[in-house]
Chains A and B, each alone.
Chain A
Amino acid sequence: MGGEYRHIGKATPRKDARAIVTGKAEYIDDMKLSGMLYGKVLRSPYPHARIKNIDTAKAEAYPGVKAVLTYKNAPGWMAGVPYHRPVLDSTVRFVGDAVALVAAETEETADEALELLEVEYEQLPAVYDMEEAARPGAPQLHERIPGNVFPRGFRSIGEKALQELVMGDVEKGFSEADIIEEATCAYENIPNPLPPEPPGVIATWEDPEHLTLYTASQSAPMNRNFAQPALGLVDIRVIGMQCGGSYGTKNANFIPMAHAAALAKAAGRPVKVYFSKEEHFNAYTLRLGSRIHARIGIKKDGTVTALQGEWFVDTGAVSEMAQVQVAVGLGETQLLIRCPNWNMQPTLVCTNRSPSGVVRGFGGQELNCALLPLITVVMEKADLDPVDFFKKNYMAPGAGFYWRDGIWRDYRGIDFSKAIDKGAEVFGWKDKWKGWNKPTVVNGAKRIGVGVGLHGNADIGEDESEANVKLSPDARAVVYSCVSESGMGERSALCKMAAEVLNLPLDRVNITPADTLVNPFEFGLVGSRGTYAVGSAVIEAAEDARRQLLELAAPVLGVKPEELDTKDGAIFAKNNPQKKIAWYKAMGIARTITGQGRFETDFSLCNCMIIFAEVEVDTETGKAELLRVVASTDCGQIIDPLVLEGQLHGSLGSAGIDTAIFEETVLDKDTGHIMNCNMIDYKWRTFADLPKFESIMLETPVESHRFKAIGVGEIAPAPGPGAVLMAINNAIGKRIMTYPATPDKILKALGRI
């Protein structure tokens, strides 16, 4: 790998590596602004209640308190489509919903002031099940969302946003099928992606028209792009801090951004709102709940002829953009299953629990994981090897799909069969696969089963990016790109791309802070778009800068620009390398050169991840243990092998693979309280429980940009849960159709309890 390139494809230290290992990397809670206050939130103990009365007098009079906000005096900013999520409301809709806000000189004072708030609630009936919520007569959450069912559509992704998947003729498709199966399956464990760092924002108003936000966001510019309309188009400057993990959950961050901005406005001073881990568990982004009632028809050879169903999506009490997740989910399911006849009807519902929102997997993981148990049933009926089925059905040249904007795309990327085959070979699939419901190994009460899952995403070229590259006469370059760092090493990857184009040592290339005041437009680091979308803009900017540099050098050297090249800060004639000058001789010392680049949305490429899993089930205790994972992808061109490997390992984290075994948010459906809202009761995989993990990263060039690469990080967890559930089912010879396969479900399936 990386043979033809100087930097691309090679493992290089991350630009922020030294800061991270010395503790100097600055995260949001490490920052204090002069005069900064601490914002705290009074949270509802009830799942659904009307605030009858709220007395703030004692809190306001408490020494050190600088602002108290309730629904009565909070700004009228709103989020969601339709607008339904205010800064504060007179109704609370989940346990942990915001009731009031306090800003004070110290955290302790703010906490104490919360206790002085006197609130009288009128409790209202609550609803927790997504289908119950959608039925007539159910308790109603929002006036603007009648029947608790969100209206379809989300204009910012296009007037025809994909809000149902209808094509061909499903009845005709079923009539052509050899096998038809129908089932209800659910991926509704609403796990918490739970980045180690809780969410946080510091807001400060320079004047009534200028708001500055410091944010722990994976996509700092989204705070400006999304919040500006909601905040009456005041000028928002966003500065991205080092982000301590996001996995999708820290993007636009309306809450807590709105809380910090509202308090800062009221107090006239900077305010930090930083969640405790309990708030993080109780009042921050969970994965969408997903349940399908669906019917699938296939031919004996694995050709899918029809897929019809209802897809219920539970977003909890509020949603900032779940309609976009529905659209992307409907898109991604077509990448998994090539089928000419579809009728998939989603229903997006609100319920009285902590909100779901943007999470790595973005609708696609939720839909495909729910569909997989049903697909498993037809594969079994047809006695098809799942590897063959996926290979036959995954997106390939010659096929196409409707993407999130409702527009058909002919796929123009690579065939991923090679990655599937290589994964199967390394895993030893042919030897381990004994057929459906058959364990690979039986060892007393313990049985080992194998499974496979696959997932892809065409958001790798979503939305727009702009970048500038500035060259200075001392042979240095600065990339201007508004990209935050939340763990994917993207800021370093962009420097590598610019260094490659300019043929500079990597330490000669730097990147600006993720500051919207300084940088050109950037959408944000989502959907694995960093490599292709952001990368394309940076490459174009670097090429533009290089062209300008050579044009300046040409008259000095008396050689045409196209006959010149540059390396390590020298410009030379290609046919006579001795004829060379330093950059500063071409530029003069009082000049910089700025190249510009822009990327326009391209939905015609997708990525692909395949996960093979080997799971041992103890049939006496019902415990399932993940023994081995093989993750395989083809990314066109590796930018950095260690960073990519880390992304693949990420399939075990961020509410991914373990949502098939033990990860879930346990909601008490009598009280609306989350029962496992701490890091002991919420289960997570430790260093002592690591399965054997092998990564396969193939490099078949993709027609993306100059380096033929595409991103893949976002989808790493998505194929995992289905693969693990399949492995468990094969180990025990019984079917479990919902996640996670906890010991009680396994023992029940085995008839032991």
Chain B
Amino acid sequence: MKTDRDKGKASRGVATAEKNISLTVNGKPYELMVGKDVNPDHTLAYTLRETLGYTGTKIACDHGSCGACTVLMDGEAVLSCTMLTVECDGKKITTIEGLENRETGGLHPLQQAFIDNTAFQCGFCTPGIIMSAKALLDKNPSPTEEDIKQELAGHYCRCVSHYLVVKAILSLAEKGR
């Protein structure tokens, strides 16, 4: 059986490398030192969760096949478990924690639509789905049902909240028309 143990190997012997990675997360700038804050094998998902404390981003498969770790990078939905933090220098990241209105604390309309439609059950896949939905609506404010399904096709939801998720996003899409 394969294990994740190979991950650890790469981290040895890089502690002396000195380079800063600049990241902006939810509008807040971070300077991360390679070898200290970030190892070359750290994924963006790991850095967000373990180093910076943005635990709203979930890791499920850790192999880029379930969508749970989706965040926005310069506005695009990306799988943060498949990106190395050292490759993200200068990037602007938005996580689920960055969706509320920073001044009023009010919810993003997508978050409200998910609440109104109970578009989740266990909620573990929800942050990733909301981030993909945001990327979609930012590009296309009035997607069709089919657009939504295609955009979310990489998101694993095992409770099967798919139908209520589509309904929640459609409720906003209709407002966008």
- Show the binding face of A for B, using Cβ within 8 Å: 11, 13-14, 16-18, 20-27, 29-30, 43-45, 95-96, 108-109, 111-112, 114-115, 193-198, 242-247, 276-278, 282, 486-489, 640, 642-643, 645-647, 649-654, 673, 677-680, 684-688, 690, 693
Contact = CB atoms under 8 A, between A and B. Distances in A.
Interface string B7-22: 1110100000000000
Contact of A276 (B55, B62, B99, B149): B62
Interface string B36-56: 000000000000010000111
Interface residues of B, number: 62
Given A114-B3, A645-B163, 9 more contacts: A21-B111, A196-B157, A198-B60, A242-B123, A245-B159, A277-B60, A487-B123, A645-B164, A687-B165
B140 interface: no
Contact of B121 (A23, A194, A488, A652): A488
Contacts of A45: 1
A149 to B, nearest CB: 28
B61 A277 contact: yes
Contact of B62 (A16, A22, A277, A647): A277
Nearest to B146: A688
Contacts of A652: 160, 162
Contacts of A30: 49, 55
The 10 closest A-B pairs by CB, nearest first: A23-B56, A244-B124, A487-B121, A487-B122, A23-B96, A20-B123, A642-B118, A30-B55, A688-B153, A653-B160
A95 B1 contact: yes
Contacts of A243: 122
B107 to A, nearest CB: 7
Nearest to B131: A23
A26 B155 CA distance: 20
Given A111-B5, A487-B121, A687-B153, A23 B127 contact: yes
Contacts of B111: 18, 21-22
A22 B99 contact: yes
B123 A25 contact: yes
B157 A653 contact: yes
15 contacts: A20-B126, A21-B111, A22-B96, A96-B1, A115-B5, A196-B124, A245-B122, A245-B124, A278-B4, A646-B164, A649-B163, A651-B160, A653-B159, A653-B160, A686-B155
A21 B111 CA distance: 6
Nearest to A112: B8
Nearest to A26: B55
A246 B124 CA distance: 11
Contacts of A654: 158-159
A21 B115 contact: yes
Nearest to B150: A688
A654 B62 CA distance: 20
B142 interface: no
A20 B157 contact: no
A71 to B, nearest CB: 19
B129 to A, nearest CB: 9
Interface in B105-127: 107, 111, 114-118, 120-127
A199 to B, nearest CB: 12
A706 to B, nearest CB: 24
B4 A111 contact: yes
A6 B97 CA distance: 34
Contacts of A27: 58, 124
Contact of B159 (A18, A650, A678): A650
B166 to A, nearest CB: 7
B160 A23 contact: no
Contacts, number: 200
B76 interface: no
A197 B156 CA distance: 11
A717 to B, nearest CB: 9
A57 B55 CA distance: 36
A277 B60 CA distance: 7
B35 interface: no
Most chain B C-beta atoms within 10 Å of own C-beta, residue among A647, A653, A687: A687
Interface in B147-177: 148-150, 152-166
Contact of B1 (A111, A198, A278): A278
B63 interface: yes
A194 B61 CA distance: 11
Contact of B120 (A21, A194, A197, A647): A21
B152 A687 contact: yes
Contacts of B123: 16, 20, 25, 242, 244, 487
A690 B153 CA distance: 10
Contacts of A650: 121, 159-160
B80 interface: no
A643 B117 CA distance: 9
Contacts of A678: 61, 63, 65
B77 interface: no
Contacts of B152: 687
A247 B116 CA distance: 24
A690 B149 contact: yes
A704 to B, nearest CB: 23
Most chain B C-beta atoms within 10 Å of own C-beta, residue among A17, A20, A26: A20
A337 B117 CA distance: 38
Contact of B124 (A16, A195, A276, A653): A195
A627 to B, nearest CB: 15
A432 B88 CA distance: 55
B62 A24 contact: no
A196 B166 contact: no
A113 B95 CA distance: 33
Contact of A688 (B63, B95, B149): B149
Contacts of A114: 3, 5
A653 B158 CA distance: 5
B59 interface: yes
B1 A22 contact: no
B102 interface: no
Contact of B97 (A18, A22, A44): A22
B32 interface: no
A17 B118 contact: yes
Contacts of B9: 112
Contacts of B56: 22-24
B57 interface: yes
B28 interface: no
Given A276-B4, A690-B149, A196 B118 contact: no
A742 to B, nearest CB: 21
A640 B61 contact: no
Contacts of A22: 56, 96-97, 99-100, 107, 111
Contacts of A643: 118
